[in-house]
Amino acid sequence: MQNIKLIVTDMDGTLLRSDHSLSPEFNKIYEELKENNITFVPASGRQYYSIISYFENIKDELAIIAENGTYVTYKGEEIFVDELDWSVVKEIVEEVRKIEGANIVLAGKNAAYVESKDETFLEYFKNYYDKNIWVDDLTKIKNEQFIKIAVNHADGTEFNVFPKLVDFEKYGLKVVVSGEVWLDVMNKKSNKGVALQALMNKLDISSEEIIVFGDFMNDLEMLNLAKYSFAMENAHPNVKEVANFKAPSNDEDGVIQVIKQYLQQLKTVNT
């Protein structure tokens, strides 16, 4: 690896440990990336405000891919927003209400909205959505741009939710299992890969100049873009098949370990 200009990483299950904490080494590693003119890019299904809560002091130095690629910023400037059709959003809300154990989140540009009364879910959901609003009825919300629908199911979404929502793809949507207990619905053209490609085009960066880390199916498209693609040790089997390399698990700070190795390699080359 040489001449890396972007380091792109998923958050949950990848950069973050299982307790949602960031490695204490991150700040030191980030300063070294900055010294080497490498832009750091968190790319997550999380809300923009949830992502920047981890990087409050440096948020305007980063590129950020939020809500699985439907909202992208570069150094504080909004460069991409992909809004969903409101009439279809309402249909999906009605469908999810029929699924026992499912909780729905409407991810807007300004906040995330929920109508669930499940206290356990509401506490859990706040880990991912820092700006959140509880409402009586999601279908009555006005004056918001919705960019993603997230559905949570404590028993897993791959079999409990996905089969019941996949037919909505006929409306030009993409239904993707984004974590063990999460599923996302967004416009078909939206994913982390499309968002990353837009960023690469803006910065004139090639696939050989980026490192990408991921652990779940919503990371596949961006992993496919990079020559240096890493699946975490704890990654879904499909992700391990697609990635060109493997990194130690998220709980071993695998992302940090690989970046440290690259920075050490740079020092060796430059001495």
Residues marked active site are found at 10
Give yes or no for a contact between 81 and 109, defined as CB atoms under 8 angstroms apart. yes
User: Closest Cα to residue 58, out of 78, 33, 79, 36?
Assistant: 33
Reference 211, options 233, 190, 196, 189; nearest CA is 196
Edge to edge, the sheet with strand 77-81 lists 63-66, 71-74, 77-81
